[in-house]
Structure formats: C-alpha cells, structure tokens
Amino acid sequence: MLRGAHEGQLTAVTGALTAASVLCQVEPVGRWFEAFIKRRNINVSASFQELEDEKELSEESGDEELQLEEFPMLKTLDPKDWKNQDHYAVLGLGNIRYRATQKQIKAAHKSMVLKHHPDKRKAAGEQIGEGDNDYFTCITKAYEILSDPVKRRAFNSIDPTFDNSVPSKSEAKENFFEVFSPVFERNARWSNKKNVPKLGDANSSFEEVDAFYSFWYNFDSWREFSYLDEEEKEKAECRDERRWIEKQNRAARALRKKEEMNRIRILVDNAYSCDPRIKKFKEEEKAKKEAEKKAKVEAKRKEQEAKEKQRQAELEAARLAKEKEEEEVRQQALVAKKEKEIQKKAIKKERQKLRTTCKNWNYFSDNEADCVKMMEEVEKLCDRLELARIMLYIYFATQKEIEEINEQIRREKEEAEARMRQATKSSEKLTTGGGGGSKNWPEDDLQLLIKAVNLFPAGTNSRWEVIANYMNLHSTTGIKRTAKDVINKAKSLQKLDPHQKDDINKKAFDKFKKEHGVVPQMDSAAPSERFEGSPLDSSPWTTEEQKLLEQALKTYPVNTPERWEKIAAAVPGRSKKDCMKRYKVSFSYPELVEMVKAKKAAQEQVMNATKVKK
C-alpha cells in the first residue's frame, strides 16, 4: 500500500544508483535462458517479444477496423452499367484498392451482403429494385470481379483512379525529382518484377541511375486491357462469331497495350532527357574521356621525349667515346713522338759519341788518308745506323779502347820493370842509406803501400809483415820488400807532410786520368744533360745585369704578353727562368734565402731524376 504524498512533495531523483550491473554466471538451461541469449544476440531490448506480440495484435485489429460506413453512392449505381463502376468503391475498399488482400475483399463483401442484401432491406421496409435492377447486383458483380485474380487484374489494369499522365519535359525542367518520383512510383505497380528501383535523388550513384533506366527501358508490365473489350465473348452465338469477337478484342488489346508501352516509353524518355544526373554523368564521362585523351597524348609525348633523350644520350656517349679514343690516339702519338725525339736525341748523342770516340782514337788509324776514310765511314754509320747499332759500335770501340789500354798497361809495365831493375840495382846500393829510399818506392808502390796501410790498420797481427807480403803480392814493380822496408817507408810517409800525400794522390789521379781519359767523359755525358738549367749553375747576378733586368721589368709591365720572354731578351746572358727567379728574389727574399731554396730545388730535382730513372 502506497501512502499519500506530503504537501509540496514532487517527483525527483535524489541520487544515482550506487552499483552498476554485475556479471553473473548462469546455468545454460531453460527456455528463458535461450530466450535471453537469443535476445542478446540480436541486440534487442527486453520488450522485443512483447513488441512482436503487439504487432500481431495490431494486424488483427487492423483487419477488423476495415468496417464500412454507409455508402450513399451505392444507391446511385446503375446495375446495367456495372462495367464502369469502381468495384473497390462498391465494396468499400476505395481507400486501399489494389493493395487489398483477398481476405479483406472477402470480409468487405460479407459485411456488404449483411447490410445490403435485398431480403434484409425488404425486412427493413426499403424499396427494392426488381431482380437484377437492384444495386445489390453491383455488389455481387464487384465481388465477382475482385475475387477472381484474372478479372481483378484486368480491372486493376484499367483502374479508373490511376493517373496515366506523363509529365512533359518542360514540367520537369526545374524540379525533376519532385515531378517524376511519384509518376514512377505509381507506374511501378504494373511491373511484373518485384523490387522496382526507385528514381533516387541527385546523389544517386551512376550504377543506381543506370539500373533504374535500364529497368524502365525494359519495363515488363502486366497491365492488360481485356476489361475494356468492346464485345463480350460470352455473348457470341456461334463459334465463328466468337472467333471474330476474339480477333476484334485481341486487336484492340494489342493496340492498347502498344499505347501503354508507348506511354511508359515516353515517360522514361522524358525522364531520361530531363534527368540532371544523366547530364552530370555525361559531362563527367566527357571530362573523363578528355582527361584520358590528354593523358594518352601526354604519355605519348613523354615517351617520345624519353626516346629523344635516350637517343641523345647515346649520341653523347658515342661522341665521348670517340673523343676519348681520339685523345688516346693523340696521347699515344704524343708519347710516340716524344719517344722518337728521345730516340733521335739519343741517336744524335750516340753518333756524337761514336764520332768523338772515333776521333779520340784517330779513327783507329795513323795516316791522314785512312783518317779521312774512317771519318767518312763513321759519318756514314752515324747517318745510317740505328741507335742500338751505334751503341754497339761504341761498345766495340770501347772494347778496342780497353784492349788498347791493356796493351799500354802491359807496355808500361814492361817499362816499369826495366826501370825497376835499374832501381833495385841502385837501391841495393842505397840500402843503408836509410831514410826514405824513395827511389826504391815508385809511385805505384807508394800508393799500394798507403792502401795496404789503410787496409791493415794498426793492431793487425804482425802488421808490417802482412803489409809487406801484400805489397809483394800486389806490386807491379816486382821489388821484393821486407817488413822493415815497409815500416821505414810508412814512417817516412807519415813524417812527410800531408802535402806530399796529397801530391801522391793527385799524381795517382792524374795517372788515372791519363790512363782512363775517356771514362770521365762517358760518365759525365749522361748527367750533364740532366743538370742542365739547374739553378745551382746560375751564376750570381752582376749589377749591370740587375740594372738591365730592372729596366726591362719597367719596360714590360705585368700585362704584357710573353713578358718574361721579352725581359729575358732584354737581359743578355740570362734565360727567362733566370729573370723570373731573380725578379722574385730581388723583390721578395734576400739572396741567401734564394740560395737555400735553390739548393733544395736541386736536391729535389736529383731525387726526381732518380725516380724517373727507376
């Protein structure tokens, strides 16, 4: 039992619920569990079942609501003119018409019969028409037509309330969808196929619009016009007449059907031509095509460009390759030329050498005539022979030289021996003479002695004997010396001032020079060239030269072409390089620095030269 509310108490929520739902494990049994799971799976509320029940209920009540009021128009109906009556209206189904179910038609007819049956009305004291003339006939007829599916379809086809009109193009210019949507919707009822596509709206996709128009252009209508047949087959009296009637009817129906199809066709045509979406799609299509075309052209152009580029690249590559080749050829030619020059130079040098050698040796002959002849020969050789041959000749020449030298040495030896013999004779006389006995000591021996002394330094085991031995072994004079002699001589040599030593050395060198006159020349031949132009060679600048240089520098300013050549020309006896160097030195560094630098440069040059040699 609830209590009454206090004064001023109102509906209110004073607080929230403190606990949310909790998860509980339930036993998976029973129909309520199944129902719950099913509900949960299809995600509907608890009232799902109830709603379904309600729905069923409402449908049933809906059927019952189809109650009919009084239809005053029924009384106005002419039973003779049943064909032109609206059967739905007669049965009170004017509001649902073709959508009425058979059940509804039956129910409507029943209630009509209950209300309008002549017997009932008679009992109510109403005036009844005679026989078929009573309006009840219309009800019967209406039911007859509507209860038969074929006849009902025939009647539906010519439904008098159906609007057959087709909107014209001009009507639909502004509001296409508003005008055409209802038209298509109401015509959709004639379709044999279910799920007639809707007109849609401005945002419909191309596929939808396409499907819509293809459906309507292939519209399959069940509408037929047998209801409008002029003649009634049943009225025919004989078979021939019936056939004739049938033919007439068929022709009429076909005509009407054609008209109907035409109507639909016009409708769809009008719609199609007015449809803004079609326009849009066409434009889009056009744009797309254009874009494609453009893209194609672009692609082609690009392709061509690429081709051109490739071709040019190839050409460039070929050109580069060619250039490179040429460069190589040129380099090779240069190298060859250089080599040739070098060879030429070498030949020249060798020729010169040959000539000199020949000359030195008086062309290996003594008399003038031979000399001249030889000279000619040598010249001829020099002209004709290759470098290698010349070198070979030189080699032969030197061989000859060596032989000659050997010969000379041999002769000298003989001479020396002869002299020695004399000397020994005299030395034997002078043995007690002590001292230097330098006469006993020819230069060769002295040299040998010095060499031996150096070879066996102090501290060597029985040094002087060894030296004496060595002397005896190596001496060319053939004089036998004892250790004592050697000591005496060595001591006397030591006592002698270094001047004498130098003298001896110098003498030795002179002798060597005399004997090997050609050799130093040969040696100096090769490096002489290399050291050519070495800054070491540059002699110091005289004041006159300096002055000249300064004058030249003034005369030829910096921007003069080939300035240094001209300057060099202005300073006699100085090369361009010398001038440049001097210029640098005199205007930037003191002479000493320049000298150091020059030295360094020389060293580097030597090193470079050795490297080159390697």
Partner 1 sequence: MAAIGVHLGATCACAAVYKDGRADVVANDAGDRVTPAVVAFADNEEIVEKNGKLQYEIDNKLISPEDVAKLIFSKMKETAQSALGSDVNDVVITVPFDFGENQKNALGEAAAAAGFNVMRLIHEPSAALLAYGIGQDSPTGKSNVLVYKLGGASLSITILEVNSGMYRVLATNTDDGIGGVCFTEALAQHLAAEFQRSCKHDIRGNPRAMMKLMNSADVAKHSLSTLGSANCFVDSLYDGLDFDCNVSRARFELICSSLFTKCVEAIKKLLQQVAFTAEDINKVVLCGGSARIPKLQQLIKDIFPNVELLSSIPPDEVIPIGAAIEAGILLGKENPSLEEAALFIECSAKDILFKGVDETGADKFMVLFPSGTPLPARRQHTLHAPGNTSSVCLELYESLGKSPMNEENKFAQIVLQDLDKKEDGLHDILTVLTMKRDGSLHVTCTDQDTGKCEVITVEVAS
Q: Which is nearer to partner 1, 11 or 84 (CB)?
A: 11
Q: Which is nearer to partner 1, 44 or 455 (CB)?
A: 44
Q: Is 27 in the site for partner 1 (CB under 8 A)?
A: yes
Span 37-76, contacts to partner 1 by CB under 8 A: 37, 40, 45-47
For the residues of 453-503, what is the DSSP string, one character each? Answer: HHHS-TTSTTHHHHHHHHHHHH-SS-----HHHHHHHHHHHHHS-HHHHHH
As a whole number of angstroms, the distance between CA 489 and CA 330 comes to 71
Residue 55 Cβ, how far from partner 1 at the closest point, in Å?
18
Q: Is 587 in the site for partner 1 (CB under 8 A)?
A: no
Q: Which is nearer to partner 1, 7 or 497 (CB)?
A: 7
As a whole number of angstroms, the distance between CA 216 and CA 206 comes to 15
Q: Which is nearer to partner 1, 22 or 123 (CB)?
A: 22
Span near partner 1 by CB under 8 A; candidates 23-31, 59-67, 221-229, 471-479: 23-31
CB 518 within 8 A of CB 398: yes
Q: Is 5 in the site for partner 1 (CB under 8 A)?
A: yes
Q: Which two tokens stand for residue 143?
A: 């039911």
Scanning the structure block, which residue is given the tokens 């799920």? Answer: 195
Residue 54 Cβ, how far from partner 1 at the closest point, in Å?
14
Q: Is 78 in the site for partner 1 (CB under 8 A)?
A: no
Span near partner 1 by CB under 8 A; candidates 33-41, 208-216, 276-284, 417-425: 33-41
Residue 50 Cβ, how far from partner 1 at the closest point, in Å?
8
As a whole number of angstroms, the distance between CA 289 and CA 285 comes to 6
Residue 269, phi then psi, degrees to nearest 5: -60, -45
CA–CA distances in Å: residue 287 to residues 201, 274, 293, 334: 22, 20, 10, 68
How many CB atoms are located within 10 Å of the residue 264 CB?
19
Q: Which is nearer to partner 1, 35 or 392 (CB)?
A: 35
Residue 28 Cβ, how far from partner 1 at the closest point, in Å?
5
Span 140-159, contacts to partner 1 by CB under 8 A: none
Q: Which is nearer to partner 1, 53 or 185 (CB)?
A: 53
Q: Which of 34, 163, 325, 404 binds partner 1 (CB under 8 A)?
A: 34
Residue 234 Cβ, how far from partner 1 at the closest point, in Å?
53
Residue 34 Cβ, how far from partner 1 at the closest point, in Å?
6
Q: At what angle do helices 239-274 and 276-360 cross, to 10 degrees?
A: 50
Sign of CA dihedral 249, 252, 255, 258: negative
As a whole number of angstroms, the distance between CA 45 and CA 434 comes to 154
Span near partner 1 by CB under 8 A; candidates 3-11, 154-162, 449-457, 510-518: 3-11
Scanning the structure block, which residue is given the tokens 């000249």? Answer: 548
Q: Which is nearer to partner 1, 6 or 429 (CB)?
A: 6
Q: Is 26 in the site for partner 1 (CB under 8 A)?
A: yes
CB 66 within 8 A of CB 107: yes
Q: Which is nearer to partner 1, 20 or 612 (CB)?
A: 20
Q: Which is nearer to partner 1, 47 or 133 (CB)?
A: 47
Span near partner 1 by CB under 8 A; candidates 22-30, 55-63, 477-485, 486-494: 22-30
CB 222 within 8 A of CB 198: no
Q: Which two tokens stand for residue 197?
A: 């596509």
Residue 15 Cβ, how far from partner 1 at the closest point, in Å?
4
Q: Which two tokens stand for residue 501?
A: 């030593």
List interacting residues with partner 1 (CB under 8 A): 1-6, 9-37, 40, 45-47
